[in-house]
A = this chain, B = another copy of it.
């Protein structure tokens, strides 16, 4: 999309450079490819400029300027999302938050941390750990994703069954509107009903309604080392039964992840350096992780509690076999199997991240596999995911995928999601990649309402255009 205000690219970059200065603005060949390369993809279109603010005021001035120029601008965090939400199109400006990083305060009485948007998730995790707390969010990209991006995409991750998703961690937020207005709601209270909760607008809207600059996140008591186990379960219905049993019995449960038989067989056979603790057969394999707070661990050992619970589940026929990790290394290996990077070696792999009501996920996987197999008899489809929070990932591989065949595969999968009342995006948002399918999970009335919100907050449409809506 070219600058929509009729300004040529050269004119725009000249104004940006003049008003914001060479320290904040990079142009042309000085722009590193990482500012225009989506995760795991080839570099895309080079933006006409990259702005890297050092302060909230810099963000405000940059946005006010882009509003004046009617210049499309793409807010950017760590670019670890999988929906192409953080990279721009032709003629757009990228606003990278990487320089506005660091913790501003840990309030140990309130149990909150105030962070700048550009801070790496792992940096926050380590700092709050040092202060005797735990963050409610953890995910694989922790070392490269930024907190601002985590909030803008309402990140989920591995601890959502215990602490909820990112939205539940955000007590306060500061964002800059398209016109440069700074809206600061850096609340530290769990209860605050003074007027509309405006911060909710910016959480999960992928930088289309405002640019997140700072946030206050809730902290939880610091965790003791976790206890991890793999269990073999006969079928999906038994997985759901096991989930409800574990959830009710173990307050320390923090992850409950399921692997379908075909997925487990593949990763067990193809993950170098990892010996699968449970033999691969026709059963589902569930990874359960428990972690008590350090103080609670003194009274109740999570490892013991998990072992006891699994023993009782075995007696009651809820599982056929279980292996408890005896060391951190073994636990890590279990996670390595579950994370399933091994499937990336499959030809033309296409990844999906969808959610459905927990009770129908088993039927969904069966129907989805059948629909893919009907169209492409040699399709390989592998299912795994965060079952406790209704989220399932799918890896689909087609040896003989035709050019642009991804779209056809998308359509088959999302069609089944639509029929079964699921969401086409559990964790990664809509970005540019899933925009065409938004109507599969949202009604016309919902999408119309999203349009009203967009028009109210960004009437010129300069913020991350072409994303979500």
List B contacts of A209 (CB < 8 A). Answer: 196
**Quick check: B190 and A389 within 8 Å, CB to CB?**
yes
Q: Decide yes or no whether A2 CB sits under 8 A from chain B.
A: no
Identify which of B168, B188, B295 contacts A357 (C-beta below 8 A). B188
Q: A336-365: contact bitstring with B at CB < 8 Å (1 yes, 0 no)?
A: 000000000000000000011111100000
Which residue among A204, A292, A449, A453 has the maximum number of chain B CB atoms within 10 Å of its CB? A449
List B contacts of A249 (CB < 8 A). Answer: 293, 295-296, 298-299
Given A200-B197, A423-B189, A182 and B445 touching (CB < 8 A)? yes
**Quick check: B205 and A190 within 8 Å, CB to CB?**
no
Question: Considering the complex, which residues of chain A in the window 403-458 have a beta carbon less than 8 Å from any beta carbon of chain B?
Answer: 422-430, 434, 438, 441-443, 445-450, 452-453, 455-457
List B contacts of A154 (CB < 8 A). Answer: 193, 197
Q: Decide yes or no whether A390 CB sits under 8 A from chain B.
A: yes
Identify which of B160, B189, B299, B446 contacts A390 (C-beta below 8 A). B189
Q: Decide yes or no whether A386 CB sits under 8 A from chain B.
A: yes
Q: CA–CA, A450 to B457, complex, Å?
A: 11
Give the top 3 A-B pairs by smallest Cβ distance, nearest first.
A109-B359, A221-B248, A200-B200
A-B contact pairs, 19 of them (CB 8 A): A110-B358, A161-B190, A164-B164, A164-B168, A165-B190, A183-B443, A184-B443, A185-B443, A189-B426, A191-B391, A195-B430, A195-B441, A198-B450, A200-B201, A201-B449, A245-B295, A249-B296, A251-B293, A452-B456
Which of A's residues lie within 8 Å of B, judged by CB? 107-112, 153-154, 156, 160-161, 164-165, 167-168, 177, 181-185, 187-198, 200-201, 203-205, 209, 221-222, 240, 244-245, 247-252, 292-296, 298-300, 305, 308, 355-360, 386, 389-391, 422-430, 434, 438, 441-443, 445-450, 452-453, 455-457, 468-469
